[in-house]
Amino acid sequence: MITRIKNLLVRYTGPVEAGAGGDERALQLATATLLMEVARADMHISDEERQAILAAMEKHYGLSYEATQQIILAAEHEAEHSTSLYPFTRLINRECDSQDKLQIIRMLWQVIRADDCIDKHEEHLVRRVAELLHVPHREFIRAKLLALET
């Protein structure tokens, strides 16, 4: 799977460095794809959700606007053609600690909350991702409550 993600990155963003740099880019694409998946869960990606994805990726990974745009473009393509969340969550489980996984769940909630409408399909998808990332249910709920407060 990581090879497939790296090939997708090459197509959209140019050559991927060997070693840790390429793995980091693959992790960024996996995260962005999950963010796109949750934005698409209600069959419509709003401009607010797109902006939330952009802001979350820039902030969490410290990416430039241009790099973020390229990764989001690749992630949108991947989300449209992917049939499973598992390859992305498997990569995140392999590369991230529990705090990073929790931050990804928070990012998912930020994207959902961006258009002021939490659809049941979006919430269900975040719950599935949290389970696949082994994020405890109490942390899933805490992240949701934090998103609703803002």
Give the pLDDT confidence score for residue 42 in this predicted structure.
87
Percentage of residues in the chain having pLDDT higher than 90: 71
Q: Is it the case that residue 148 has pLDDT exceeding 80?
A: yes
Q: Is it the case that residue 56 has pLDDT exceeding 70?
A: yes
Architecture of domain 2-149: Orthogonal Bundle (1.10)
The mean predicted confidence, pLDDT, of the chain is 87
Give the pLDDT confidence score for residue 20 in this predicted structure.
45
Give the pLDDT confidence score for residue 67 in this predicted structure.
92
Domain coordinates in residue numbering, the chain: 2-149
Confidence of residue 22 (pLDDT cuts 50, 70, 90): low
CA dist 36 and 148 (Å) reads 20
Q: Is it the case that residue 53 has pLDDT exceeding 90?
A: yes
CA distances to 60, 94, 136 from 54, rounded to whole Å, are 10, 24, 26
Give the pLDDT confidence score for residue 117 in this predicted structure.
85
Give the pLDDT confidence score for residue 147 in this predicted structure.
84
The pTM score is: 0.85
CA 140, 143, 145 angle in degrees (round to 5)? 110
List pLDDT tens digits, range 63-116.
999 999 999 999 999 998 988 999 999 999 999 999 999 999 999 999 999 988
> Of 17 and 102, which is predicted with more confidence?
102
Give the pLDDT confidence score for residue 149 in this predicted structure.
85
